[in-house]
Structure 1
Amino acid sequence: MTYSDSAKADLHRYLQEARDALVWKLEGLSAYDVRRPLTPTGTNLLGLVKHAAGVELGYLGNTFGRPSGEPLPWLAEGAEVNADMWAAPDETRDDIVALYRRAWAHADATVEALPLDTTGTVPWWPADRAELTLHHAVVRVIADTSRHAGHADILREQLDGAAGELPGATSLPSADPAWWAAHRDRLERAAREAAGRDTTDGPGTRATS
């Protein structure tokens, strides 16, 4: 969708880039690798996409009186805590990505239909501060999606070394593994040298061999 005014177009551009990056990080991975927890708090690639779908449908749907009708049991009252951050065995990658793309379309339709100064009410916020403008809501969704796209960058690199922002526009200075190995070694040496000069007492201030 192309938004009808320049302010909306700018917002949409950055939101869509973050959306595309998040989905791209799933490509080429096994069902196990897209789901496996890669941090002590369980962060995983498919869970990030599932979470992002719910964020869009909430902030750019329900908040402005435009419910999508999508069933989201993991966000319902009484649902297990953190259920939107991981995929159950019967929740397929295709289903979650398709849900996310439908969330994009629903969110885009909301932004296209309403002025940016339209006021909505966030159902899950405290009543005394639950109102926000559509502009605020879109910026909030951009920030959330971009943050999780950054998480996905690191998770994917941990899995198979794949890195970059988008296909054909990675924003990386080199594609040569040898260049990156030398770069990483240089950073390690610099970190150790700095730690050796650091006289601050406390954990994490000195490198060990």
Structure 2
Amino acid sequence: MPGQVGAIENEQQGLLAYLAQMRYVLRLTAYGLTDEQLRAAPSASALSIGGLIKHCAATEEGWISDVRGERQKLDYQAYAENFRLRDDESIEDVLTRYDGIAARTEKTVTEIGDLGHQIPIDHSVPWNSKDMTHWTLRWVLLHLIQETARHTGHADIIRESVDGATAYPLMAAAEGWPETDWLKPWRPA
């Protein structure tokens, strides 16, 4: 996938394309890392790259379940666990799960086809506004883009702390871009 979203023909296509782009850039933060590096938390927080990818997958899965009317009660312990890549989990398993969730998102949005589709708000959690009755599918997609982008930024900082790699050199390495005077593809140390 290139470094920029391509031409879009409509709002739905644009929202899905930007969400896919954010997922892709988040995935790139894991490119070439060892299991130990994927679990490393080198900043002041307990966040790791593997944990952030797992969290974004779980978050998207939860929102799309809400869109489909399959709301699940929030389990705070499971929520906290979604920020950590367990020893018995591989990044390959997490990425495969994320791919399945992404496909379900695209299928759900395409099947509904109406960005104004209303989703009832869960008022059992304190962060949801009590004066609103519903989200729209458009709002959910924008929120998923925002959430994924926020955590991609966290993952960028963690990745740079782990081995100095940054987004475009990682993208250049993953996609086989030629080396230039101003951009050198990432290489393991």
Q: Indicate the TM-score class for this superposition, using the shorter chain for normalisation.
A: 0.7 to 0.9
1:118 matches 2:117 = yes
Residues 108-140 of structure 1 deviation map (CA, whole Å, 9 limit, x = unaligned): 111111110000124454776452000000000
Question: What amino acid sits opposite 1:142 in the alignment?
Answer: I
Q: Bigger shift: 118-127 or 42-51?
A: 118-127
Query: What's the secondary structure of 1:61's corresponding residue?
Result: helix
Equivalent position to 2:13, from 9, 27, 33: 9
> CA 1:132–1:46 in 2, change beyond 3 Å: closer, same or farther?
same
Map of 1:99 onto structure 2: 97
- Listed as ranges, the gaps of 5+ residues in structure 1 are 177-209
User: What is the Cα deviation at residue 6 of structure 1?
Assistant: 0.9
Q: Bigger shift: 125-134 or 19-28?
A: 125-134
Equivalent position to 2:45, from 9, 17, 41: 41
Separation of aligned partners in 2, 1:122 and 1:65: 11
Residues 44-97 of structure 1 deviation map (CA, whole Å, 9 limit, x = unaligned): 100111110111111122233157xxxx9xx86362562111111112211111
Question: What amino acid sits opposite 1:175 in the alignment?
Answer: L
Q: Bigger shift: 48-57 or 132-141?
A: 48-57
Query: What's the secondary structure of 2:165's corresponding residue?
Result: coil
Map of 2:106 onto structure 1: 108
Separation of aligned partners in 2, 1:117 and 1:92: 37
User: What is the Cα deviation at residue 167 of structure 1?
Assistant: 1.8
- Listed as ranges, the gaps of 5+ residues in structure 2 are 1-7, 185-189
1:146 matches 2:149 = yes
Query: What's the secondary structure of 1:27's corresponding residue?
Result: coil
Aligned length: 167
Contact 2:39 2:85 (C-alpha < 8 Å) held by counterparts: yes
Identify the structure with bigger relative contact order (alpha carbons < 8 Å, sequence gap 6+): 2
Separation of aligned partners in 2, 1:145 and 1:78: 20
Alpha-carbon RMSD: 2.9
Map of 2:5 onto structure 1: none
The higher radius of gyration belongs to 1
Map of 2:183 onto structure 1: 175
Separation of aligned partners in 2, 1:55 and 1:78: 13
Question: What amino acid sits opposite 1:19 in the alignment?
Answer: R
Q: TM-score, normalised by structure 2?
A: 0.76
Map of 1:63 onto structure 2: 67
Map of 2:3 onto structure 1: none
Map of 1:90 onto structure 2: 88
Query: What's the secondary structure of 1:60's corresponding residue?
Result: helix
Contact 1:60 1:138 (C-alpha < 8 Å) held by counterparts: no
